[in-house]
Structure 1
């Protein structure tokens, strides 16, 4: 019978894996987590609320600098696009051993300083850098980090916490659209930039509240006795001939020689133990690592034609995200006041929150196929963009804004659901990241393109005709997704 002599400083990969299964950091699911949830709610009020007032800001910047619409729109479009780039930037920052809390606080400081610098901008080019790029990327990392750290504080109540936090999007859109109009009327656009700087500086306080979790390690009760015995056998086989106690070098060598003699006398069990160890350490673990690398290198997402179809569909859907940039400008051009234009955008934000709740009911309770809902959402956006050119009153323009908001937010909610259904959970993270980066680029390109359309025609109606045509192409493409779901190419 082999004598198992343990040594704590020699571990095989299997023992480390077993120990990692036993070591778990338990989210508190409450307590200070609700303070973090409140901080994330305020962050969600600030960041999406700031991007929602781009249409109001665009009107003032056109008056302030008297520059072309296409160039001035870049200031607003960059902020909308960079919101999708927060994930890669945070991943890079975390490699330098920074915490989510530090990233969020630094993002708030840079955003505040950049907004203050924007109040002194002499031209649109300077504002593109200070407000568009610096403020945009700073808000993006803070916004992404806040939602990530909230997920670390909750496990069983994560859906509730995220629901409370993300409801800040609509609240921020509703309040800031109204307040920004008042700020501009009292302090002008440059004074409003200073106020926004103070608002962004508050995110350092929100970040300070999001303190990292302490690594409280607990033993997992879910590991079976067989798994523990297997791990002990592997550890014992790996540690033959060593003592865990501290001894001098000469005594330790003598014990090693004695152990080797005992092994040579009882040679039969040894090859069996070594074969177990070899089969696990030299074959199974490297093969698992190799297989994971091979699966990654296969890039199955690039071989799925329906994923390309989904990317093409959301390429057309992205044109609707710049709708709120041009809607206030169009409202003012048909004779509405700036306060009425701001109120329309506030209603647009509130309807977005209602839409997020409604889509959950339609998918999870009524069980309407997601492909049908995507086609309906795109159809609503296309028809609304077409009809908006006939709107000449506050009531009719608000009605078109409501239907557009429903369709747009339906499409946003269905993105991750459709990606997961088409590609599966294994490739969902990579595929969704690719989709987010693509949308971020399009959020910058589309508003500028529509600015050129207006300058070429001098009619805002042509801008909305452009929206209607592009989104209608998405309706046609989404029919292919319906076909794929009906024929069983993917299942929700």
Structure 2
């Protein structure tokens, strides 16, 4: 029976059987909760500011007097850009940049871009500085923070991601309200300077995402004479062997190892080595060069998986829900509410989103409700709620409907990474989630542009929201295919 050694000991008669193997083992807790906090605050900052797009839109309309379709591009491109972080981050990995460095770099670039936005002379400049530059820089931080957390947990992954993603709701509560107050006191240009300071805090959150410590494994062959000696076995045990009654599970998982082989394991951090970079501090397979980057996205099994395409297009139609952040304040103003009440509606949206994502994690991890079933049901509820928006003419009814939409929309936010791992497997989670994020980013960018032009032509929010509900209904139909596959056991877990 093989023994496991916590610390390598010098065995003069041992012979090496295999080369050392290095792997990352998620702690499923411990420092992982500090990383969970960093991911929470990253989501708080990024999603909180994208949720403020509707309030910023009203201020920009007053400042530049442009059409709503053109001005809304500032917020929609920023929101869409934050979802293109997967491919962008993996390209940076080819230059030996870690996820930790990506988050910190995003803090510097986004802060500088927000400062430049304060001096923008027109909407076109803002589309570039605040829309494109801020959006793309935050994209890397958003992707890295969530992938980091996903790789720090295994059995508690859905719960940890639910907690971290609830930061998006908290950001919507706090930052939307602060943005509205800041615009009232300092104007839009002064508010951009305050936003720059908020983005700079990403450097602190990135610093918390320290590298995982790899486990080095090497097998040695112990001579028969030494193995058969009880005295020798006892002396070796005293040097660090785990007693036999403590390694039953390990022994069972290593049945393929001959009885004459001993597995020696040491946990240590290997800073600044090629192998550590390849393990990437957080992701299962982070490319260290362009050849590995190409192989990451050239996995044929991933592109041959028809259910992965169903997942992509289902989330493409789900992403229409983000346009509500942009148009809710404008709709509230159109029914007689003031800008502060419009900001309060978005804050309520975020508050419910915070609680709902944690509940989603509990439903999946504790009550074991299949995540595909839960997501499909949430799409149906979201579709009905969006279609009902035009009938909400008072502050109370607007808040009630926003609450229901938030509960259903947040389910998709909490389950994005979990569903990718379900459909493709954990080993393809990083590449799969980067593609899914890009698809969602397309939706975040395109839908506000479509609905903005429709509003300019019809001057009717009712038509806009009915169209949004129609898009979500297509996502419902696509989700039925995923439900069928889940029922038939086509997925990994």
Q: Same fold (TM over 0.5)?
A: yes
**Residue 397 of structure 1 corresponds to which residue in structure 2?**
398
Match runs of 1:320-399 below 5 Å: 320-399=321-400
SS of the equivalent of 1:121 reads coil
**Structure in which a larger fraction of residues adopt helix:** 1
**Residue 168 of structure 2 corresponds to which residue in structure 1?**
169
**Residue 475 of structure 2 corresponds to which residue in structure 1?**
474
**Residue 102 of structure 2 corresponds to which residue in structure 1?**
103
**Residue 290 of structure 1 corresponds to which residue in structure 2?**
none
Q: Is the 8 A contact 1:351 1:405 kept in 2?
A: yes
Structure 2: where are the runs of 5+ without partners? Answer: 1-14, 220-241, 243-249, 264-293
CA distance in 2, matches of 1:184, 1:329: 16
- CA drift of 1:49 comes to 0.8
Q: Is the 8 A contact 1:313 1:478 kept in 2?
A: yes
Q: Is the 8 A contact 2:87 2:435 kept in 1?
A: no
CA distance in 2, matches of 1:37, 1:91: 21
Q: Is the 8 A contact 1:485 1:491 kept in 2?
A: no
CA distance in 2, matches of 1:431, 1:455: 37
For the pair shown, the structure with the greater C-alpha radius of gyration is: 1
Q: Is the 8 A contact 1:352 1:405 kept in 2?
A: yes
Change (3 A) 1:307 1:180: same
- CA drift of 1:165 comes to 3.7
Q: Is the 8 A contact 1:421 1:490 kept in 2?
A: yes
**Residue 308 of structure 1 corresponds to which residue in structure 2?**
309
Q: Is the 8 A contact 1:78 1:444 kept in 2?
A: yes
Question: Does residue 115 of structure 1 match 2:114?
Answer: yes
**Residue 442 of structure 1 corresponds to which residue in structure 2?**
443
CA deviation string 1:171-230 (max 9, x = no partner) = 211111111111010001111001101111222233344444677868797578946967
Match runs of 1:137-148 below 5 Å: 137-148=136-147
CA distance in 2, matches of 1:74, 1:142: 22
SS of the equivalent of 1:15 reads coil
TM-score of the two chains, using structure 1 as the length reference: 0.74
CA deviation string 1:394-422 (max 9, x = no partner) = 11011111111112122333444444444
CA distance in 2, matches of 1:74, 1:313: 24
CA distance in 2, matches of 1:104, 1:421: 26
Aligned length: 417
**Residue 260 of structure 1 corresponds to which residue in structure 2?**
none
Structure 1: where are the runs of 5+ without partners? Answer: 1-10, 233-292
Q: In angstroms, what is the RMSD of aligned CA positions?
A: 3.5
Change (3 A) 1:387 1:214: closer
- CA drift of 1:107 comes to 1.5
Moved more, 459-468 or 87-96: 87-96
CA distance in 2, matches of 1:426, 1:34: 22
CA distance in 2, matches of 1:148, 1:311: 18
Change (3 A) 1:198 1:430: closer
**Residue 240 of structure 1 corresponds to which residue in structure 2?**
none
**Residue 30 of structure 1 corresponds to which residue in structure 2?**
30
**Residue 18 of structure 2 corresponds to which residue in structure 1?**
15
Question: Where do 4+ consecutive residues of structure 1 move more than 6 Å?
Answer: 23-26, 152-160, 218-221, 293-298
Change (3 A) 1:360 1:99: closer
SS of the equivalent of 2:201 reads helix
CA distance in 2, matches of 1:15, 1:360: 41
CA deviation string 1:67-119 (max 9, x = no partner) = 11111111111121122222222222222233433332222111111101101
Change (3 A) 1:436 1:211: closer
Q: Is the 8 A contact 1:103 1:141 kept in 2?
A: yes
CA deviation string 1:14-53 (max 9, x = no partner) = 833xx115x767869536x665554443322211111111
